[in-house]
Structure 1
Amino acid sequence: MKAKKKSKYGWLDINRRLWFEENGAVTVFSVLVLSSLLLFFSLLIDYARIAALHKLTEDAVRSSVRSVLSAYDAALYERYGLFGRGGTEGETIFSDTMAANIEGIEGLSNHGMKLVRMKAESSELHTASFLGSHDVFKRQVLEEMKYKAPIDFTLELAARFAPMAGAMKEASVTIGLLESMRKLYERREAHLSQVLHLQELAAGIMRDSGIEAMIPAQTNAVASAGDTALSLAGEYRDYAAWVMQEQNAEHAGGADHSEVIKAYEDKARAFAIELRRISSEMLQRHVKLQGDAIRELEAARALNEDMQRLVQQANQQADRGGYDAVARQKSSGAVQSEVPADAASDIEEIRRQADELVKPDAWFTAYRQELEAQGSSAAALDLEAGSYQTSSIASLAKPIADQTADTLIEGVASLRLAYGNYEENYIRPAAIIASRKSTLEQGEVKAKLKQQGEQAESLWKQARGLLHGLTAIPQAEEHQQVFEQVKQHYSDNLLFNEKSDEAAAAPLELEQAGEAHEAANRSASVMDDIFSGMAGMLEQTRDTLYYGEYVVNKYPAFAPQHLRSMLTEGNVSELSHAVSFNNQEAEYIIYGFHDAVGNIAAAYGELFAARLAVRTMEGLLESRTLGHPLLILSAALIYGLEKTMEDMLAFTERGSSPLSKYVKVELSYKDYLRLFALMHDAGDSASLARMIAVIEQNSGTVLSAVPSGVTGEAGVSTELWFVPGLMKVLGKFGLLDGKVDGNRYETTQTIGWSY
């Protein structure tokens, strides 16, 4: 056999075969692929186990947190519909439930392979919110009342007011206008009365000056009273003759008349000077009174202009859209309404009659001219007195019997004529002053207004006695101690919610109206607020309604029957025992007075005002035929006070009264509390703090320490099966929600939950 020749490149062939031999290529490729797949799937399996761990942990923590919240204060819920943590300690429930969840998962099967084996590393429970927080408390109240508040009933309550909303709106505007006009009217009339008084004083100065006696129309009947201008003029002829005789030398030997001449000259000169002095003093005082009268008249004119502006602005009053919103509310029930179709227009017509109270500017101009004419008349007399003095003294200087005597008599006649003109107009019969007085008294209007005013004040005195009687109830020390405790709870809750006690103080003041007309005006304002509150409930948000309903339904109110003995017998002994805190919790929340009588007085004061507003509206319709707008107002107020007192008695008998003679439905005291809660916004910070304070006082539980939500935090771990090092690398890139420690993966799950 021939041997093969060995190539000199044999070692290259060996290397080529070693590296590029095709035998076993599939095996090597499979090893590479399978090892990669094994690494990938091992990573995927551990990642899936981590995801499962997160899901199981989340479920376990959520279940544990909800188990904690399942233990709530049963007393709070049953009485006030509020959820707050109570019962077993929350930490214990949370840790036990977490352990049970993990053990349950571990104990599913003790045999075979389990994908995730959890181990509890830690568990903590934190409170997330407290029932004493206003945000939390409000949310729970809204949730409670959203399903339990008698919304339909409250809407029906608003619907009962709908038939008379138009008339009440016009009554509110009319009462407000007429009351403002009345105040200005009375001030204006007082100034005008003062003007008339000053006129009469000026006339009295003229009458009492003595000028009339010095210038009589006849010489008889006054001769004994002394010299007069007329008597002196009559004696002047003799005087002139005596002077002529003295000057005539032919009669030098005749009788000596020097003494009688001197006597006449002295008394004539003294009389002229005295007449002039009296006249000047009279005019000086007259001018001062005239100036005062003009100033009073101008003050009256300014008030009259204010009245005119009020009338012009009557249609530009503050928005009263609440009445319109309630008027659009339709009743689903049978509300028997007998409100006249033209009731609103009739009351509007009364308001338009207010223009009759305004006097035209020409009236004041004419009156001023009248005052100036009176002054001119007095000045004319003074002028004549001055002329008389001049003529009289001149006649003594150059006596001429006939001509000068006639001049003096003419001067006296002029004096008498000037005085007579003044006397006729301003003294007797005082035609101008009498006419002005009749004009200012307006016939019998002022007399009737005075009579009605006295009657209204008498009725208001009775009503005020009732309202004042509530504030004068003897307060037991034990009652006040409870209020002091509630006040401390209230202040603590405001502090917890970072609210200022001053900023959240109740704005209402227990100040009663000083007189009947002021009470009517305030009652109209109360009715404005009631309709505004109902309009807000109907058109905007019903949250305030929910809060009000919560107060009325969850807290006791003061029963009006407790007032019966005080109203009928004046006995307050029963009432003094009935004013305990627990009998007036609703009133306390609405008004916020920390004493035993303040809240009751405020509630029943507003009840009285609400009834007075409705009854006064009826009175306007009943009295519209009286003509004069202020007579109508006074008569309406008298009607309103009488009927309101009847209503208050009805409340003490059966707890309700008719809404109106035109709307045949009964409204209870509790219904009015609903309206007052709408008025005063029962959802503000102060009211919420008072709600919480009452609950804390009654339950002994501080809601600021009662959790309404918790946050559970649990740390768990599980063993990694394959490549913990690679999972740790993934964790560094933020791809995991936990951390890898050795061969274990650890994570923390936090879940928050609230009622």
Structure 2
Amino acid sequence: MRSFYNSETGAVSIYLIIILVPIFFLQAVLIDFARVKAAEREADTAARAAVRSVLSAFDTELQKYGLFGLTGEPESSESLFSMIYKENLSGSSSGGFYKLLDTKPEEGHASLTSLYTLANHTVFKEQILEHMKYTAPIEFVLEITDKLQKPGAVKTLANGSAYAKDAEKIEKLLVKREELLDRAWMETVKLKEELNGRHHTYRARITELNRLSELIGLNTADGVRSQIKTLEEQIRSLSDSISSLNGSLAAAAAAGPEAAAAIQGMMDNMRSLQDQLTELQRRLSDLKTLLDNIVKYTGLLAATKLEIVSDDEKVQNLQKSVQELLGEAKKANDELNTELKRVSSAAGNELKVFEAFKSLKILSEDDFRTYQTGIASSAAMFSGFRSGIGSINLFTNANAQKIHAANDAYQAQMDEIYQKQLVIETERNKRNETIRKEKEKQRSKIQAALDRARQAMGDCGTDQTAGSVSAFYETLEGKDGLYGKYMTLNESPSNAGGSPVYDLEGKPDTEIQHAMSLLERLGQTGESIRNELFVNEYALSLFNYRTYGREVDGSGQPKPLHAMSEPSGHKLPGQEVEYLLYGFNSCAKNRSSAYGEMFAFRFAVRMVEELMDPKNELLQAGSPLLVLLVSAAEAAVKALADMDSLTDGKAVPISSKLTNPLFTFTYKDYLRIFLLLHSSDTNLLARLQSLIELNTERTLDHAVTYIQGSAESSVSLWFLPGVMKLMNGTGISSCEVRENRCRFISRADLAY
């Protein structure tokens, strides 16, 4: 054994075996590993090809709208996927390179998973954008912007809108000031009438008190009453004496002739007593008259002093009311002045009409000071008159003259300020009344045009089948309608009932501001709006509207129609884009909304044209709002004529003054603008989806746009399956070894 062990015979062979066997094992493993990787790559390619084949079976009805989605049964898609996957594997072919691979699908292990549908707004919008990149007339859309931007029309329109807004704001301040001045003048007239009445009353009172005072002199009621009492006692005593003397005369007469001398003496005494009694009775009557005058004087003086306090309070309250109203009017005047300064210093007010603000009358500090001081002075003088009456108890001639002078003083002061202010108020009221009547005249003209526009705005034509259209709208906007469904699927709040509209139901002033707000919004439209333009063009290209099929070109020939979706045959004829814009549940409401907004736009443009060159006498009228109303009255009539042309499918110049007359817009162009101004992606996309489902009868929440294909396949292992199995947990190979085949899963995700 030792010899065998130490023998060197065959050493080279053993050495070679030790070296070559590991190399062989390594090569065998590498060959199988390479084959597995090749098979995996082949399977991945087959999976992608199978998914592409499945996606190629898109719905042709949806394709007319530029949309791609699978609406077939999932089973047929999975069957197609399995078939294409199998045919693209080497196990189904022979010869050439495929002898090295025998990749075969594992039956029952192929599946398709749908990830997104056309109901998803993000997916839906992306497909629209992809479609419109090639078909949208973006140059034409930009040309619309250029028609407004390059000649500076947008800036001028914005200036017109600014004037309307400034005119309304300043008009409110002007009306506020004038109303306060009117109320102040009414209170002034009341004060004047009150002082006039008090002046006449107190003149008579003072005269009467003076008369009574002269009659009374320095007598007092108590003194006169004491004198009356004394006289009455004397009269009673004389009366008793006369009665006693009468008895004596009777007795003497009975005594006969011898008593004649005594009788004569008694008669003489009787006459003397009678004369004394008569004198005493006269004096008593005079004293009673004097007492009556004292009582009357005292009562009249007390009543006068009491009334003057009440009258003074009334006068002071009226004066306070006038002062407060004038203070508020002055505040409104200051606000008005501030606004006028802002308007005059604002940049970009190139329109001639802004000169109308210069004619507004701003009251000076002196105007208010003179008015307020005169009223305060009159009231103060009346208070002085009150104090004078309160301080006098005896209206002698001197005192009466002094009080008469005080009574005349406040009256004269009130007359003076009243007469001065009367001239100012008469002129002011005359000017305001003239402006008011002219405003009402212009408002009547505007209202007549609005009434005519309202009659034409909701016309849906005679070709509408009311019942069927109503049913279609119920499908779209009903309780369980399509619009609500797509809003819910995208987790957005539903705006059921439609968007706010220009229904032309407001007063002329309101409609003017509504119209001008459109121009302001147009000027605020951003430039980075490519996606919005594409979506809007999609709506206008594939759906119908009021003048669809009736528009003519410059030569008067009907414009050709190219839309694959055939909008003229849709279930809502001549109203789809209007529905997309406003979302109401009837043709009349949607068309009315579009008509109202379009009329408002034309109304605003025509107003700006009129404002560019107003009459000079209007600029001097002192009412910027009147200038606006006159311009609006002319503009409303022209806007009506524009609408007649637009709804007939004709093009009208954007503006006769702001742009080249050859630059025209059609009904469709204005819808383009409104789609841009409203710019509500969520609502618009949901309504687009609703109309597509209504027209194609394809439920977009089942129209798959993104799928994931998964299939299992295997390849045979030529060498050492056990070694490959040991590699499963190492991450080097993802296949699973079963018997002598290596199984693996292939996935492919693709979308339109």
Q: Same fold judged by TM-score > 0.5?
A: yes
Deviations 1:458-482 (A, max 9, x none): 1332244346547887995543332
Q: Count matched residues.
A: 658
Q: Which segment drifts farther, 303-312 or 688-697?
A: 303-312
Contact 1:128 1:707 in 2 (8 A): yes
Contact 2:645 2:652 in 1 (8 A): yes
Aligned ranges for residues 243-642 of structure 1 at < 5 Å?
257-258=286-287, 261=290, 272=301, 276=305, 279-308=308-337, 310-311=339-340, 344-347=349-352, 349-350=354-355, 353=358, 356=360, 359-360=363-364, 363-383=367-387, 386=390, 390=392, 393-395=393-395, 404-405=396-397, 407-409=399-401, 411-422=403-414, 424-425=415-416, 430-438=418-426, 440-441=428-429, 444=431, 446-466=432-452, 468-469=454-455, 476=466, 478-487=468-477, 488-501=481-494, 508=500, 514-533=506-525, 536=526, 538=527, 540-559=528-547, 581-623=572-614, 625=616, 626-627=619-620, 628=622, 629-642=624-637
Contact 1:230 1:409 in 2 (8 A): no
CA distance in 1, matches of 2:201, 2:138: 88
Alignment correspondent of 1:155 = 142
Deviations 1:459-509 (A, max 9, x none): 33224434654788799554333222102111111222222326x986536
Alignment correspondent of 2:68 = 83
Q: Mark the CA change 1:733 to 1:552 in structure 2 (over 3 Å): closer, same or farther.
A: same
Alignment correspondent of 1:399 = none
Contact 2:647 2:667 in 1 (8 A): no
Give 1 or 2 for the bigger CA radius of gyration: 2
Alignment correspondent of 1:140 = 127
Alignment correspondent of 2:111 = 124
Alignment correspondent of 2:192 = 203
Alignment correspondent of 1:338 = none
Deviations 1:676-705 (A, max 9, x none): 1111114x2222111111111111111011
Within the candidate set 96, 101, 109, 2:83 is matched to 96
Shift of the alpha carbon at 1:74? 0.9
Letter of the 1:678 counterpart: L
Within the candidate set 149, 173, 176, 2:162 is matched to 173
SS of 2:196's equivalent in the other structure is: helix
Contact 2:381 2:409 in 1 (8 A): no
In structure 2, stretches of 5+ residues that fail to align are: 228-275, 551-568
CA distance in 1, matches of 2:185, 2:54: 87
Q: Mark the CA change 1:93 to 1:305 in structure 2 (over 3 Å): closer, same or farther.
A: farther
CA distance in 2, matches of 1:417, 1:605: 65
SS of 2:715's equivalent in the other structure is: strand
Within the candidate set 145, 168, 190, 2:179 is matched to 190
Shift of the alpha carbon at 1:433? 3.3
Q: Mark the CA change 1:235 to 1:134 in structure 2 (over 3 Å): closer, same or farther.
A: closer
CA distance in 1, matches of 2:78, 2:43: 17
Letter of the 1:66 counterpart: R
Shift of the alpha carbon at 1:99? 3.1
TM-score by length of 1: 0.78
CA distance in 2, matches of 1:108, 1:14: 55
SS of 1:714's equivalent in the other structure is: strand
Q: Mark the CA change 1:52 to 1:433 in structure 2 (over 3 Å): closer, same or farther.
A: same
Shift of the alpha carbon at 1:547? 1.2
Are 2:718 and 1:721 equivalent residues in the alignment? yes
Shift of the alpha carbon at 1:634? 3.2
CA distance in 2, matches of 1:165, 1:50: 68
Are 2:21 and 1:35 equivalent residues in the alignment? yes
Shift of the alpha carbon at 1:526? 1.6
CA distance in 2, matches of 1:745, 1:561: 64
Shift of the alpha carbon at 1:672? 1.1
Within the candidate set 200, 213, 222, 1:212 is matched to 200
CA distance in 2, matches of 1:517, 1:657: 26
Shift of the alpha carbon at 1:546? 1.0
Deviations 1:411-455 (A, max 9, x none): 435534543443x336xxx413313414643x63x2342123212
Contact 1:619 1:640 in 2 (8 A): yes
Contact 2:693 2:699 in 1 (8 A): yes
In structure 1, stretches of 5+ residues that fail to align are: 1-10, 216-226, 321-342, 396-403, 563-577
Shift of the alpha carbon at 1:65? 1.0
Shift of the alpha carbon at 1:599? 2.4
Alignment correspondent of 1:643 = 638
CA distance in 2, matches of 1:195, 1:97: 94
Letter of the 1:284 counterpart: E
Deviations 1:652-689 (A, max 9, x none): 3444432112121221121111111111114x222211
Within the candidate set 43, 52, 69, 1:66 is matched to 52
Q: Mark the CA change 1:640 to 1:279 in structure 2 (over 3 Å): closer, same or farther.
A: farther
Shift of the alpha carbon at 1:133? 0.6
Contact 1:470 1:600 in 2 (8 A): no
Letter of the 1:525 counterpart: S
TM-score by length of 2: 0.78
Q: Mark the CA change 1:752 to 1:231 in structure 2 (over 3 Å): closer, same or farther.
A: closer
Q: Which segment drifts farther, 618-627 or 734-743?
A: 618-627
CA distance in 1, matches of 2:97, 2:175: 104
SS of 1:593's equivalent in the other structure is: coil
Contact 1:384 1:415 in 2 (8 A): no
SS of 1:711's equivalent in the other structure is: strand
Shift of the alpha carbon at 1:706? 0.8
Q: Mark the CA change 1:13 to 1:737 in structure 2 (over 3 Å): closer, same or farther.
A: closer
Q: Mark the CA change 1:49 to 1:561 in structure 2 (over 3 Å): closer, same or farther.
A: closer
Shift of the alpha carbon at 1:194? 0.5
CA distance in 1, matches of 2:578, 2:504: 18
Deviations 1:23-56 (A, max 9, x none): x555444444443343233222222221221122
Alignment correspondent of 1:6 = none
Alignment correspondent of 2:93 = 107
Contact 1:43 1:727 in 2 (8 A): yes
RMSD: 3.8
Shift of the alpha carbon at 1:735? 0.9
Contact 1:561 1:653 in 2 (8 A): no
Shift of the alpha carbon at 1:193? 0.6
SS of 1:173's equivalent in the other structure is: helix
Letter of the 1:494 counterpart: M
Letter of the 1:372 counterpart: A
CA distance in 2, matches of 1:637, 1:499: 40
Letter of the 1:751 counterpart: A
Alignment correspondent of 2:668 = 670
Contact 1:350 1:624 in 2 (8 A): no
Letter of the 2:541 counterpart: N
Alignment correspondent of 2:266 = none
Q: Mark the CA change 1:603 to 1:560 in structure 2 (over 3 Å): closer, same or farther.
A: farther
Q: Mark the CA change 1:241 to 1:183 in structure 2 (over 3 Å): closer, same or farther.
A: closer
